[in-house]
Amino acid sequence: MLRLFVGLELPDAIKHSLVAIRSNLKGARWQTTDQLHLTLCFIGNLDDDHLPAIYDALHGLTVTPFTLTVEGIGLFGSSQHPKNLWVGVREEAAVATLHDELHRRLAPLDIEPQGRAYHPHITLARFRGRRTRQYAARQDKREPPSGLRELLQQHQGLSLPPFGVDHVSLFSSTRRPEGSHYQVIGRFPAD
């Protein structure tokens, strides 16, 4: 069984800048340098014998080169129940076009878009469930926990140097106790 998604790899310099944002934030499970990426299309769990069909669907994909700028920081979930800390991107239209094209190509394989609107982002940290919620519930209900509020304020003007995008990558994801391990198993168009 393979757990797959299509995304954008990030240059090492961008990854190192994002890892530098880490803080001692209670309840946060920070992504490692190797885990940082931008998801374009989550495929999900498939039997190994479906992999050739995925490659066939992605073969011939063209990516009109564009530059991508990582900027802004935000939070999924409520301030009482934070789920993910993320950074955004400026060129959302170019990324959304890739997202839509990938879903068009994968639709014949019964791979459907997730039920929510696509919001291009790079996950920096995930918050653990119950303990984080209990911690957050003790705080002022209108604002995130104090360490999170300070981190969001400190990095609200985040803007990293632009980098070029000319392909997408097919990733496999393996869940491990220390967090998911991602491996690139294909690039389209092929390099």
- Structure tokens of 52? 């050739």
Q: What is the pLDDT of residues 132-187, one digit of tens each?
A: 445 555 554 545 566 888 899 999 999 999 999 999 999 999 998 878 999 999 99
> Residue 102, Cβ neighbours under 10 Å: how many?
23
Most confident of 9-18, 111-120, 129-138, 139-148: 9-18
Backbone angles phi, psi at 34, to 5 degrees: -70, -15
Instruction: State the DSSP H helix or E strand holding residue 11, giving kind and residue range, or none if neither.
Output: none
Among the residue ranges 19-28, 126-135, 147-156, the one predicted with the least confidence is: 126-135
- List the end-to-end C-alpha distance of the chain, in Å, as a whole number: 26
Question: Would you call 43 helix, strand, or coil by DSSP?
Answer: strand
pLDDT for the residue numbered 132: 47
Whole-structure pTM value: 0.88
**How many secondary structure helices (H) and strands (E) does the chain include?**
5, 10
Is the predicted pLDDT of residue 89 greater than 50, yes or no?
yes
In 59-145, alpha helices (H): 92-106, 129-137
Determine the Cα–Cα distance for residues 72 and 89; give it in Å rounded to an integer. 7
